[in-house]
Amino acid sequence: MCGIVGYIGKKNAVDVILKGLKKLEYRGYDSAGIAVVVDKELYIRRSVGKLCNLSASLEKNPVNANIGIGHTRWATHGKPSEENAHPHMDPTKSIVIVHNGIIENYVELRAKLQIYGQEFKSETDTEVIAHLIKKHYKNNLLHATQKTLSEVRGSYALGIVCKDEPDKIICARRDAPLIIGVGKGENFIASDIPALLPYTRDMIFLENGDIAEITADKIIIKDIKDNIINREMKNIQWDAAQAEKDGYKHFMLKEIFEQPRTIEDTFRGRIYPDEGKVYIEEVKLKEEYIRNISNIYVVACGTAYYAGLVSRFLFENFSKIPTEVDIASEFRYREPILNEKTLVVIISQSGETADTLAALRLAKSKGCQTLAVCNVLGSSISREAMHVIYTHCGPEIGVASTKAFTGQLTALYIFALDLASKKGKLTNEELKKYLKELWEIPLKISEFLKNTESVQAIAKVFAHKRDFLYLGRYVNYPVALEGALKLKEISYIHAEGYAAGEMKHGPIALIDESMPIVAIVVESKVYEKTISNIEEAKARGGTIIVVANESDKEIRDKSDYIICVPKTDEFVSPIMTVIPLQLLAYYISVFLGCDVDQPRNLAKSVTVE
């Protein structure tokens, strides 16, 4: 998730772009860059770190131009460095681009270009687009872009400028947001509304497949085949604060609704369900090592730990590798039995959690291979781990973790499948089936998110309860823990997550008429067992709220409230079932008037022990 801004008009493009990028820093901040055209020459400035570094460099050596594009990066391919920062150029330095998204077939495209002797300056997937546009360029930037995009697979929002056509910006969109801001004698592009609000409220939202040619006075939108496309202009009435949250009331809600996209971004370019292939570029575990892994330790804190608990089922079921999951602050002070055949998987959204980092260092000191599942590029954990799978969720701003959790589940799912297939524990047909299940999840979540009224109604009924019990079994037991954690964190209601079958060994004593019990009862091998556990709770007077599959008729008689979710395979079901629990916690918190995004006593990144 990166941020793009472009400007053409009479103002100084540098000022407009820097101000716009500042508003988009929430989309990424590991490096930033800008390209402008002055007298038919391209000027490019790039800096590692936050935008202030780029601004400082531009203050020292100012440049004034009427056309330009800029970018703030949240890296997916290639570490944060000046070479990998956008904009990227073609080898003749005449075409420059900024990109948000992931080019899935860049390895293949780059290899083809390298045959013709083309040299690449960065490790990014983006640079290949600049090279391809140049290859197709015959004095028409729009046509060269159309040709290029017909060869590219993946997601993109692109801003493109050519020194030989200094009166236009070309932009294009597929599965990554891009807006055109319509001005008088000036026009703009940006990834998101807040960047443009100081200049215009008239905006055109590009759709997938749109390619636009923008001059100071004209906007022409076409498709790849050069057909003209008409898009309605909208007048945006949001204030600046609303715009930053994309119109949502809180960042947490925005992040919950972003999940179909962040899950897709995390598996995009890494899984190929039709062929039954997983390709995780960053993980370079040797086949021989994989064959000999004796055991896996998964170590993390909080929500990331719960993602780890789900991964145990995946590693054991798919790869048949004994797996233990531990809380980082416990792991580091016991004497875990580790050796060079142990793979230690470290999960952390921030990559800075002190206990998790210490666990990683301990594992390394014992000679283990270490693999981090991390969201923040360049963070301590991602730098120190031997292998990293990045979740491509973009910055998570709400303190209570939501999209990072489903990103972690996604990354762990594809890694477990990859391990299993490399160990010969899954047939290609099985792999295809499991990959397809994941592929369909974003659509299923989007369907569910279209109507959240049932969750809001339940939240209203139960917002004033003092205690909640969350029950789940098997892969959905960690989801019960996560649901309870979300409620505790943002509404300050006492909530406990329990393995449904364990309830009769103690917590059942807590159940009476005033106790709401949230149970996850979706289709799986423990469905019948979980139903029995619910009946036990209901018999004690508990009010039962279930998260169940739409098709489940039986559950209606056994529960008091139902939240229906689409049916999925059991192993991917946690990615689906957690969504209503995030929403339930959110709406209860809102009803209680709590500070949803910054709950008391909590910090986004816990860098102390």
Contacts to ligand F6R by CB under 6 A:
301-304, 348-350, 353, 356, 400-401, 485, 489, 605-606
Angle of helix 106-115 versus helix 127-136 axis, rounded to 10: 50
Rounded to the nearest 5 percent, the helix, strand and coil shares of the chain are 40, 20, 40
Q: What is the 3-state secondary structure (H, E, C) of 462-508?
A: HCCCCEEEEEECHHHHHHHHHHHHHHHHHHCCEEEEEEHHHHHHCHH
The residues with which 324 forms a beta bridge, in sequence order, are: 297
Looking from the CA of 124 toward its CB, the CA atoms found within 13 Å total: 28
* Contacting residues for 391 by C-beta, under 8 A, at least 6 apart: 262, 266, 349, 373, 374, 375, 404, 407, 408, 410, 411
* Contacting residues for 442 by C-beta, under 8 A, at least 6 apart: 259, 260, 261, 263, 264
Q: In the bound complex, what is the minimum distance in angstroms from residue 74's beta carbon to ligand F6R? A: 16
Smaller CB separation from ligand F6R, 126 or 348:
348
Smaller CB separation from ligand F6R, 308 or 542:
308
At residue 523, the 3 state secondary structure works out as coil
Conformation bin of residue 542: beta by default, left when phi > 0, alpha when psi is -120 to 50: beta
The amino acid sitting at 247 is: G
Smaller CB separation from ligand F6R, 126 or 303:
303
The residues with which 545 forms a beta bridge, in sequence order, are: 518, 561
Smaller CB separation from ligand F6R, 328 or 414:
328
CB 344 within 8 A of CB 297: yes
Which residue from 383, 382, 354 is spatially nearest to 607, judged by alpha carbons?
354
Smaller CB separation from ligand F6R, 400 or 445:
400
Q: In the bound complex, what is the minimum distance in angstroms from residue 329's beta carbon to ligand F6R? A: 11
Smaller CB separation from ligand F6R, 16 or 485:
485
Q: Is 171 a catalytic residue?
A: no
Conformation bin of residue 70: beta by default, left when phi > 0, alpha when psi is -120 to 50: beta
Q: In the bound complex, what is the minimum distance in angstroms from residue 251's beta carbon to ligand F6R? A: 13
Report how far residue 83's alpha carbon sits from residue 417's, in angstroms, rounded to the nearest whole number.
33
Q: In the bound complex, what is the minimum distance in angstroms from residue 350's beta carbon to ligand F6R? A: 3
Smaller CB separation from ligand F6R, 35 or 362:
362
Q: In the bound complex, what is the minimum distance in angstroms from residue 400's beta carbon to ligand F6R? A: 4
Candidates 79, 112, 135, 604; catalytic one: 604
Residue 52: both structure tokens together: 């202030």
Q: Cβ atoms within 10 A of the Cβ of 176, count?
A: 23
CB 598 within 8 A of CB 399: yes
- Beta strand pairing status for 295-300 and 202-205? unpaired
Q: In the bound complex, what is the minimum distance in angstroms from residue 352's beta carbon to ligand F6R? A: 7
- Beta strand pairing status for 88-89 and 95-100? antiparallel
Residue 251: both structure tokens together: 């960042």
Q: In the bound complex, what is the minimum distance in angstroms from residue 450's beta carbon to ligand F6R? A: 25
Q: In the bound complex, what is the minimum distance in angstroms from residue 516's beta carbon to ligand F6R? A: 21
Smaller CB separation from ligand F6R, 302 or 394:
302
Q: Is 79 a catalytic residue?
A: no
Q: In the bound complex, what is the minimum distance in angstroms from residue 356's beta carbon to ligand F6R? A: 5
Q: In the bound complex, what is the minimum distance in angstroms from residue 263's beta carbon to ligand F6R? A: 17
Which segments of 137-199 does DSSP mark as H helices, in order?
141-149
Which residue from 28, 16, 131, 122 is spatially nearest to 68, judged by alpha carbons?
16
Candidates 2, 162, 171, 368; catalytic one: 2
CB 69 within 8 A of CB 110: no
Report how far residue 518's alpha carbon sits from residue 544's, in angstroms, rounded to the nearest whole number.
6
Residues classed as catalytic: 2, 604
